[in-house]
Amino acid sequence: MAIFDVIGPIMIGPSSSHTAGASKIGYMASLVYGKHFDSVEIKLYNSFASTGRGHGTDRAIVAGLLGMKMDDERIPYAFEIAKQKNLKYYFRKSYKPDHHPNEVRFVFNRGTEDSFLVRGISIGAGKAQITQVQEDRVEFGGDHAVLLLNYGDVPGMIGFIGDILGKYKINVAYMQSARNALQMSAMAILKLDELCPSTAVEDLKNNPDMHQVISIRKLNNEY
Amino acid sequence: MSTNIIPSRIRIRSTRDIRHYLHTYPFKDLVDFFIEYEAKNRIMEKEDVVKRMDKALQVMKESVLKGKEHKNRTPSGLIDGGSKRVKQYTEKEHPDLLGKDFDNVIVNSLAVGELNACMGRIVATPTAGASGVLPGAFLTISEKFNISEECQVNALFVGGGIGELIRINASLSGAQHGCQAEIGSASAITAATIVSLFELSLDKIENAAAMALSNLLGLVCDPVAGLVEFPCVNRNVTGSINAVACAQMALAGIKCPIPFDEVVGAMKQIGDDLPASLKETSRGGLAITATGKKISKEMTDGDPRDPA
Ligand code: SF4
């Protein structure tokens, strides 16, 4: 945070939390899903649900899903563009005080694959965070590249992950791991200075106990 | 003690810190200091920092032009081409109260505020809701005095640096400290920016910002229907005009009896004391007047637009 948070960001109005932050959630959610999808259900919570329409929150989210950044002048036309690209989306609303005031839940669908859940929140000043990926509670906002791992709850996985990071000389800014006893699985979230190289991602995926590897680049100085 | 080396970390919490840095290290001037500050904090090259501010200036200019072109009508009807109306009226009809320069401040400030409400592209200074304040006053004056773009970019670093002190010690968010933190801060930033176009004196810059902010202390955030439309857009004009007046007073040597840092402290204290109903929740003030409630009902009922 510094002067460009005072003079900036450059964005499409009217609201940094309800428009700019909303587009960023959509943008990050599509990076997390990482592939083409047939349809997506978008659930808006609380303030996003009640004042979202007047703030273009719905359009901004769809724009973000289409890869537009918060300063993209096509945001107001996101619905029309989505139609051209044959992107199907459905909005739902939910009012639940135990959820963040500016929260969105995405459920991505693709062919016969299982649906995929991503949740995000807008935290003000055009900043956003992803808070859930599938079953896993996470917290990241685009300041770092992210590696999200989900694996079988067996001994030696952290060592295995560490070996690969060492092999590719990947510097870790932050790491957290947790076990999901119910699912017999565990997850780790790693925040990195640079995007994890695709060869390292392949190595991670080659371990039979690794269920899922999601690698996301950082958004950094993008508006 | 002076040294020849710029420190590798720069942290500021007060105008006193800024004075200390300027006194101790070989910064050329206030502009150089803030560029260095931004470069160090973002881990960016100084020239890239300047380029990025230039981009902000270009978008700001564009937002004034587009805001004057655009119809500026929102679905709620709360915004309906006000900028154009003022322009046409003052050009053709009577009375034109204070002449062209004053009209331009109103027209340009409204243009950007309205463009923002209509999903146009703006620079959030410091927020989207207050984005008309700076361009309305500062760009209008820069144009009147034919000020080079380089000097305009420099001035934006000074204004942004002053805003940085508000951000660090209080906040720039209506949800946290009410509208004083948005329109009030924007007005202080603008007053500082304008003074620095003419005199790079930290004393005068500080006085301008202190007066501008103290004039708007206590301003609550009570947007009708939760939309960044009314009273937001009109308040941008208030912020712009207040900034011009305070810049003029400070340039003339009027001092604010309470120093800037303490005014910021007062704003934080007032903001903390404000009830939640007056901090962007639309549960108080203008938002819950009989008419405010009626508009709110019309605007927030019904489902979000599903695919057509
Ligand atoms: S009333 Fe609230 S939303 Fe409107 S400009 Fe002021 S702080 Fe922003």
- pLDDT number for residue B191: 98
Q: Which residues contact A19 (CB under 8 A, 6 or more apart)?
A: A11, A12, A13, A55, A56, A57, A60, A70, A75, B119, B128
Q: Whose CA is nearest to atom 8 of ligand 1?
A: B129
Least confident segment among A47-56, B43-52, B183-192, B251-260:
A47-56
Å from CA of B276 to ligand 1 middle: 14
Mean pLDDT for chain B overall: 94
Domain ranges of chain A: 10-134, 145-216
Torsion of CA A20, A25, A31, A37, to 10 degrees: -110
3-state secondary structure of A131: strand
3-state secondary structure of A68: coil
Average pLDDT over residues B90-108: 97
**Is A88 in contact with B307 (Cβ distance < 8 A)?**
yes
The backbone torsions φ and ψ at residue A13, rounded to the nearest 5 degrees and listed phi first, read -70, 180
Angle at B144 between CA B188 and CA B70, to 5 degrees: 80
Under the banding of pLDDT at 50, 70 and 90, the label for residue B2 is low
Q: Does B169 touch chain A (CB under 8 A)?
A: no
Beta bridge partners of A148: A189, A214
pTM of the complete model: 0.92
The reply to whether B289 falls in a domain is: no
**Is A11 in contact with B124 (Cβ distance < 8 A)?**
yes
Å from CA of A51 to ligand 1 middle: 14
Residue B134 belongs to what domain range? Answer: 28-272
Residues with CB under 6 A from ligand 1: B 129-130, 174, 179, 182-183, 221, 223, 228, 231-232, 235, 280
Q: Which residues contact A125 (CB under 8 A, 6 or more apart)?
A: A5, A9, A16, A17, A21, B124, B127, B172, B173
- pLDDT number for residue B298: 87
- Using an 8 Å Cβ cutoff, are B123 and B133 in contact? no
How far is B119 from A14, CA to CA, in rounded Å? 6
- pLDDT number for residue A125: 82
Number of domains observed in the structure of chain B: 1
The 10s digit of each residue's pLDDT in B126-185 is 999 999 999 999 999 999 999 999 999 999 999 999 999 999 999 999 989 999 999 999
- Using an 8 Å Cβ cutoff, are B220 and B179 in contact? yes
Q: Which residue has the tokens 């938002």?
A: B287
- pLDDT number for residue A85: 94
CB-nearest partner of A5 from B134, B167, B228: B167
CB-nearest partner of B189 from A6, A50, A89: A6
The reply to whether B278 falls in a domain is: no
Q: Measuring CA to CA, how many Å separate B247 from each of B43, B139, B188, B254?
A: 33, 14, 9, 10
Q: Which residues numbered 286-305 in B keep a CB inside 8 Å of some CB on A?
A: 299-300, 302-305
Torsion of CA A43, A45, A48, A51, to 10 degrees: 110
Digitized pLDDT (tens) for each residue of chain A, 223 residues in all: 799 999 999 999 999 999 999 999 999 999 999 999 999 999 999 989 988 888 999 999 999 999 999 999 999 999 999 999 999 999 999 999 899 989 999 999 999 999 999 999 998 888 899 999 998 999 999 889 999 999 999 999 999 999 999 999 999 999 999 888 777 899 999 999 899 999 999 999 999 999 999 999 998 655 5
The reply to whether B157 falls in a domain is: yes
CATH number of the domain located at residue range(s) A145-216 in this protein: 3.30.70.260
Chain center to CA of B35: 19
The reply to whether B247 falls in a domain is: yes
CB-nearest partner of A7 from B41, B74, B160: B160
pLDDT at B305 over 50: no
- Using an 8 Å Cβ cutoff, are B231 and B278 in contact? no
**Is A6 in contact with B120 (Cβ distance < 8 A)?**
no
Burial A106-141 (b: 16+ CB within 10 A, else e): bbbeeeeeeebbbbbbbebbbbbbbbbbbebebebb
The reply to whether B22 falls in a domain is: no
ipTM of the prediction greater than 0.90, yes or no: yes
The reply to whether B11 falls in a domain is: no
Q: Which residues numbered 189-208 in B keep a CB inside 8 Å of some CB on A?
A: 189
Chain center to CA of B276: 23
Q: Which residues numbered 2-61 in B keep a CB inside 8 Å of some CB on A?
A: 34, 37-38, 41-42, 44, 52-53, 55-56, 59
**Is A58 in contact with B121 (Cβ distance < 8 A)?**
no
- pLDDT number for residue A183: 77
CATH number of the domain located at residue range(s) A10-134 in this protein: 3.30.1330.90
Show the beta-strand stretches assigned E in chain B: 121-123
- pLDDT number for residue B302: 43
Closest alpha carbon within chain B to A143: B42
The 10s digit of each residue's pLDDT in B200-234 is 999 999 999 999 999 999 999 999 999 999 999 99
Token pair for A157: 């996985």
